[in-house]
């Protein structure tokens, strides 16, 4: 459990962050001073190293130049807290707006006092009243509007309110719906970390099947989306290494695919003639090629395929054999002579039809609960399987991938779209800060 303390100093309010061993790993904050020059009052905000925060100062001294002293002082206080929050939680994309999760965390940060969380505790001593928080939110709305030209998002969300007059007539007005009184912080992890991944594999090996292990490995180690996994067929996997020493896995769409089996950003064929089109084999148009270096994974896939198609199973259940031949059949789109009749790789264990997204969703929720990873009921909003892909992305970031390399590894349309994957938990932020501090010490800079 980490801790953030609020410290009053000669230069202003700063914040200290401590890890679970009570060792300080970060000291940060936004401080400020007021200066009068040629009859004008200037409000200046800097970081704790004295570096000016230009966009905040532009707003305070130009956008609010003709505003009352009270309003400028209020904005001055609000923005110092805002930039302290940004620094503490490394919110690098704040210029694009504030999402629901960060808005809730910011409200909690503004509220102050002593608060306990799942990963971080706050020790701010004094607690602000709700009547103070609302004007601060108004400052942030005006700041985003004027400086970043942003007028939409959770901060700007409005609701209709009915108003009653003495003559019993009713009229409706719009009101900002962010309510500090209803402050509730529930932050679910957005990606699977390495230690969680290892626990998941242990639980699967103990209580579930080889099929489940393979699916998790494909998502976490190679960044496959769950739809790409469920759409895999036996002809999509080459069990022999290529000239570069890799096994090759191919992602593509077929006419026989259901919507939950589609590979994203690839053409979806409409008729069998589409398979013969040249562009169906073009990388990024009709095909994604995944290079697999893990021989254990390929061995597991081969083992699963042979076990799941064992004649002993079909001798016990003719229905499973019938479903495999009729309902699990997939179009054959390659010249792989080793595959006579193509089938979807992953099967429902009960009836031998292709494994569905809902069927897998039920299984992964079981696994998460046994591991102790939080889940919620809004599976469309907080997709459980997609956390593995986020874990893959964060692992690549820790290996030094920049946005150009990351978007190619994730098979995105461009580098701008991978920013959402950099979303470290407070615990991971602490680890990053530790590493930065160690690097500075090793270089003799601290």
pLDDT at 19: 76
* Distance in angstroms (rounded) separating the CA atoms of residues 271 and 266: 15
pLDDT at 24: 83
Q: How far is CA 259 from CA 22, 273, 332, in A?
A: 50, 20, 18
Please check whether residues 313 and 208 belong to one and the same domain.
yes
| Contact present, 200 and 370 (Cβ < 8 Å) | no
Place of tokens 């393979």: 214
Please check whether residues 96 and 169 belong to one and the same domain.
yes
The answer as to whether 437 is a domain residue is no
Read off the CATH number of the domain in which 205 is found.
1.10.443
Place of tokens 């601290």: 446
Please check whether residues 138 and 235 belong to one and the same domain.
no
Structural domain range at position 342: 194-371
* Paired tokens of 75: 């904005």
Query: How many structural domains comprise the chain?
Result: 2
Distance of CA 112 to the CA centre of its chain: 26
Which tens digit of pLDDT belongs to each residue from 278-318?
999 999 999 999 999 999 999 999 999 999 999 999 999 99
User: Residue 47, Cβ neighbours under 10 Å: how many?
Assistant: 17
Nearest to 321, CA basis, from 295, 347, 288, 357: 347
| Residue 233: half-sphere exposure toward Cβ, Cα within 13 Å | 26
pTM of the model: 0.61
Which tens digit of pLDDT belongs to each residue from 137-175?
999 999 999 999 999 888 888 776 555 454 555 555 566
The answer as to whether 337 is a domain residue is yes
| Residue 8: half-sphere exposure toward Cβ, Cα within 13 Å | 3
The answer as to whether 217 is a domain residue is yes
Boundary-marking domain end, from 148, 182, 216: 182
Distance of CA 374 to the CA centre of its chain: 15
Residue 248, classed as helix, strand or coil, is strand
* Paired tokens of 393: 């992305």
Residue 221, classed as helix, strand or coil, is helix
* Paired tokens of 64: 């609010």
* Paired tokens of 262: 């589609």
Please check whether residues 130 and 170 belong to one and the same domain.
yes
Residue 68, classed as helix, strand or coil, is coil
Please check whether residues 245 and 176 belong to one and the same domain.
no
Please check whether residues 293 and 228 belong to one and the same domain.
yes
Please check whether residues 24 and 138 belong to one and the same domain.
yes
The answer as to whether 312 is a domain residue is yes
Boundary-marking domain end, from 371, 392, 411: 371
The answer as to whether 101 is a domain residue is yes
Boundary-marking domain end, from 371, 393, 420: 371
The answer as to whether 82 is a domain residue is yes
Please check whether residues 36 and 148 belong to one and the same domain.
yes
Residue 299 φ then ψ, to 5°: -60, -40
Please check whether residues 202 and 337 belong to one and the same domain.
yes
Please check whether residues 354 and 219 belong to one and the same domain.
yes
Please check whether residues 152 and 210 belong to one and the same domain.
no
| Contact present, 381 and 190 (Cβ < 8 Å) | no
| Contact present, 228 and 240 (Cβ < 8 Å) | no
Please check whether residues 86 and 121 belong to one and the same domain.
yes
| Residue 309: half-sphere exposure toward Cβ, Cα within 13 Å | 16
The answer as to whether 439 is a domain residue is no
The answer as to whether 434 is a domain residue is no
| pLDDT per residue rounded down to tens, the chain (446 residues) | 578 888 887 778 888 888 767 788 888 899 999 998 888 999 999 998 899 999 999 999 999 999 999 999 999 999 999 999 999 888 888 999 988 878 888 888 888 777 665 556 677 777 777 777 889 999 999 999 999 999 988 888 877 655 545 455 555 556 676 666 554 444 445 789 899 999 999 999 999 999 999 999 999 999 999 999 999 999 999 999 999 999 999 999 999 999 999 998 899 999 999 999 999 999 999 999 999 999 999 999 999 999 999 999 999 999 999 999 999 999 999 887 777 789 999 999 999 999 999 999 999 999 999 998 877 654 444 578 999 999 999 888 878 788 888 889 999 878 877 766 766 665 666 665 565 556 556 655 55
């Amino acid at each position: 459990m980490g801790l953030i303390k609020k410290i009053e100093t000669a230069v202003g309010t700063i914040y200290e962050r401590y890890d679970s061993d009570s060792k300080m790993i970060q000291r940060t904050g936004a401080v400020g001073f007021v200066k009068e020059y040629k009859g004008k009052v200037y409000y200046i905000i800097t970081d704790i190293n004295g570096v000016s925060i230009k966009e905040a100062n532009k707003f305070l001294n130009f956008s609010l130049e003709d505003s009352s002293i009270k309003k400028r002082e209020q904005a001055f206080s609000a923005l110092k807290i805002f930039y302290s929050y940004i620094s503490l939680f490394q919110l690098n994309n704040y210029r694009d707006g504030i999402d629901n999760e960060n808005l809730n965390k910011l409200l909690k940060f503004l509220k102050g006092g002593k608060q306990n969380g799942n990963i971080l505790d706050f020790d701010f001593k004094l607690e602000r009243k709700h009547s103070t928080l609302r004007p601060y939110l108004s400052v942030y709305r005006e700041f985003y509007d004027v400086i970043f030209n942003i007028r939409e998002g959770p901060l700007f969300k409005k609701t209709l309110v009915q108003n009653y007059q003495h003559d019993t007539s009713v009229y409706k007005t719009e009101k900002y719906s962010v309510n500090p009184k209803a402050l509730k912080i529930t932050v679910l992890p957005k990606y699977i970390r390495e230690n969680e991944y290892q626990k998941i594999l242990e639980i699967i090996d103990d209580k579930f099947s080889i099929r489940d292990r393979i699916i998790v490995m494909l998502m976490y180690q190679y960044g496959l989306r769950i739809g790409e996994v469920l759409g895999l067929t036996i002809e999509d996997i080459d069990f022999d290494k290529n000239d570069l020493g890799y096994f090759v896995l191919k992602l593509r769409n077929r006419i026989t695919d259901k919507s939950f089996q589609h590979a994203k950003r690839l053409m979806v064929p409409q008729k069998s003639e589409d398979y013969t089109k040249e562009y169906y084999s073009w990388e990024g148009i009709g095909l994604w090629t995944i290079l697999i270096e893990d021989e254990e994974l390929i061995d597991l896939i081969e083992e699963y395929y042979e076990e799941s198609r064992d004649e002993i199973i079909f001798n016990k259940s003719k229905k499973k054999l019938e479903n495999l031949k009729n309902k699990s059949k997939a179009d054959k789109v390659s010249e792989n002579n080793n595959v006579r009749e193509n089938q979807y790789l992953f099967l429902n264990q009960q009836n031998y039809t292709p494994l569905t997204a809902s069927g897998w969703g039920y299984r992964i929720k079981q696994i998460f609960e046994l591991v102790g990873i939080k889940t919620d009921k809004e599976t469309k909003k907080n997709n459980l399987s997609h956390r593995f892909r986020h874990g893959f992305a964060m692992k690549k970031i820790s290996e030094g991938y920049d946005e150009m390399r990351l978007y190619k590894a994730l098979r995105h349309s461009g580098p701008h779209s991978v920013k959402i994957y950099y979303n470290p938990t407070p615990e991971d932020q602490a680890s990053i800060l530790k590493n930065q501090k160690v690097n500075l010490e090793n270089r003799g800079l601290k």
